[in-house]
Amino acid sequence: MSEKLNNARTSAFAENLRTIGYALLIALVIRAFFFQPFNIPSGSMIPTLLIGDYLFVAKYSYGYSKHSLPFSPPIFDGRILARQPHRGDVVVFKVPTDNRTDFIKRLIGLPGDEIQMKHGVLYINGTAVPRVRVEDFVRRDEFGNVQRIPQYRETLPGGVSYTTLDLIDESVTDNTGVYVVPPDHYFMMGDNRDNSNDSRVQSVVGYVPFENLVGKAETIFFSTDGSAHFWEVWRWPSAIRWNRILTWVD
């Protein structure tokens, strides 16, 4: 009797292990080939993305490279089922300076484009990108003081429109030389123009190879303002940004 009981326990244990293994395999496949969750730790994409946003990135948007897989194993070069990104996409990519760190920025420049900033205005191929002043972005700083930051509605060639912030007049990155985007590379910029390490900072990001694109940001599935700790369940309702949940990333 005890032998049958031990066999039953062993069989149940083995079945549980198989179930866990299948679940992990399914999760890995979904993460590698379909959707991967990311959270926003910095303010470089404000106002489009806020610190504390959690979003899904579509891994299939541009095809697959080694960076589509966890830890970027060097099992092949280039991309499989490659699809070209579009100007204006919000993209997660591996920073080419280390090929490990995930950044999220907006794709501004395509291969062959000439990109320049003049007095805070973006120029693409010698033409100023139209921008219109809109209502200020309002937030509270760490001391509770209200800040009003100038916002601009910018519209890229092709029609993609989004909002940028202008924190500092004539900042270092408000005036640049001309960047010529190499073949099979892209030029990325944050929407929070004066608080973003992006392709304008060549030593940090520079031009991003096609192979380094991880996927396109699609949907915000959760968002919290950080005012409640994980264990402070009673404060969760006030900390959650309900109006951002299940919204598309423009």
Catalytic residue among 44, 61, 196, 199: 44
Q: In the chain, count of helices (H) and strands (E)?
A: 2, 15
Q: Examine the residue annotation and report whether 44 is marked as an active-site residue of this protein.
A: yes
Catalytic residue among 66, 94, 105, 216: 105
* Structure tokens, 112: 């062959």
Q: Examine the residue annotation and report whether 4 is marked as an active-site residue of this protein.
A: no
pLDDT tens track of the chain, all 250 residues? 556 555 555 665 556 566 666 555 555 555 666 789 999 999 999 999 999 999 999 999 999 999 888 888 888 888 999 899 999 999 999 999 999 999 999 999 999 999 999 999 999 999 999 999 999 999 877 777 898 999 999 999 999 999 999 999 899 999 999 999 999 999 999 999 999 999 999 999 999 999 999 999 999 999 998 887 767 878 888 899 999 999 999 8
Q: In this structure, what DSSP letter does residue 32 have?
A: H
Nearest to 78 by CA among 206, 211, 207, 214: 211
Question: Are the beta carbons of 124 and 156 closer than 8 angstroms?
Answer: yes
How many Å apart are CA 188 and CA 96, to the nearest integer? 12
How many Å apart are CA 27 and CA 35, to the nearest integer? 10
Return all residues near 11 (Cβ < 8 A) that are at least 6 apart: none
Residue 148 CB-density burial (10 A; 0-12 exposed, 13-18 middle, 19+ buried): exposed
> What is the identity of the amino acid at 204?
V
DSSP E strands, 73-160? 90-94, 102-109, 114-118, 121-124, 127-128, 131-140, 146-155
Question: Are the beta carbons of 123 and 101 closer than 8 angstroms?
Answer: no
How many Å apart are CA 99 and CA 92, to the nearest integer? 12
* Bond preceding residue 85 cis, omega within 30 of 0: no
**Is the whole-model pTM more than 0.75?**
yes
